[in-house]
Homo-oligomer: A and B are copies of this chain.
Amino acid sequence: MSADFDKRLHAVAERVEAALDALLGSKPAPGEIVRPRRVLEAMRYGALGGGKRLRPFLTIETAHALGSVGEAPLRAACAIECVHCYSLVHDDLPAMDNDDLRRGRPTAHKAFDEATAILAGDGLLTFAFAILADPATHRDADVRVALCLGLARASGLGGMVGGQMLDIEAETAAVPLDDSAIRRLQAMKTGALLRFAVEAGAIVAGAAPARRAALVAYGEALGSAFQVADDILDAESTSEQLGKRAGKDAERNKGTFVSIHGLDGAKRLRDAFVSQAIAALVEAGLQSEGDILREAAHFVAARAN
């Protein structure tokens, strides 16, 4: 990874942090009555102060590679990050993964309480659509509503929510998942939102259908590389490095890319997905303006947490 890439990732994370901080202010928007302090604080706790902001980065850099900068990709990125953060808050709940630690801090239900964490998650999910549908996101209603539809499909029962359900079921299944079941689970649980993060950049930039489809393929391959890398990380890292509990997968005896393909096999699979992602960028007709997206594919494969 180049030092430039790291700098750019950090710069985008700071822009997203500042934008989310402003969006999650105490002043009610038109149509809102008041923003009650406690749930707002819990939403801010869940959404601010951490994370690589990989999804926002993908949205903003995809749009940028296509010539679109400014509020539209930034707000779309913030909405997608709200959905990602809500999913972490809910997944950490006692009834779900029951995690006490996230990004090295107490999880939301530990810092607040369970009821507040459930509501904060609900609030962040809803807020994502309030951001996207707002005329401040894009002057063209067709663009805004395409973002709403894409986000809802990626994060709902046929995407992230469904993937979390499959993940929970896998833990109590009699036999570990096989390769195709894991791929489907991961494509839904984390892949769909990563893919949509890229697609959202193409949508705000008004990409033509063929280019948009190629970028969706890039996002899908990058998401797959991310998932395999995640299993590798879980098998190789300590909790301290991850900022969350490590070795959870083996502990729970559910199938992973590592348990099926071995560590070396999983690394080969990961690298194949990276190559696939990079090929899709060529397909999308991106030259040097696509360099940062190429680096992003390498980054998700090589990240240390």
A residues at B contact (CB < 8 Å): 28-36, 38-40, 43, 86, 90, 93, 95-96, 113-116, 118-119, 121-123, 125-127, 129-130, 132-134, 141-142, 144-146, 148-159, 161-162, 164-166, 168-169, 184, 187-188, 192
CB-CB under 8 A from A28, the residues of chain B are 158
Q: How far is the CA of A192 from the CA of B166 in the complex (A)?
A: 34
CB-CB under 8 A from A166, the residues of chain B are 36
CB nearest to A154 among chain B residues: B31
CB nearest to A153 among chain B residues: B31
Q: How many copies does the complex hold?
A: 2
Q: Are B127 and A157 in contact (CB under 8 A)?
A: yes
CB nearest to A155 among chain B residues: B126
Q: Are A118 and B95 in contact (CB under 8 A)?
A: yes
Q: Are B145 and A148 in contact (CB under 8 A)?
A: yes
Q: Are A157 and B35 in contact (CB under 8 A)?
A: yes
Q: With A95-B114, A121-B122, A165-B39 in contact, is A133–B156 under 8 Å at CB?
A: no
Q: How far is the CA of A256 from the CA of B165 in the complex (A)?
A: 38
Q: Are B90 and A118 in contact (CB under 8 A)?
A: yes
Nearest first, the 10 closest Cβ-Cβ pairs linking A and B are A32-B158, A31-B153, A95-B114, A130-B152, A133-B149, A126-B156, A39-B165, A133-B148, A141-B141, A129-B152
Q: Are B188 and A33 in contact (CB under 8 A)?
A: yes
Closest CB of chain B to A181's CB: distance in Å?
A: 11
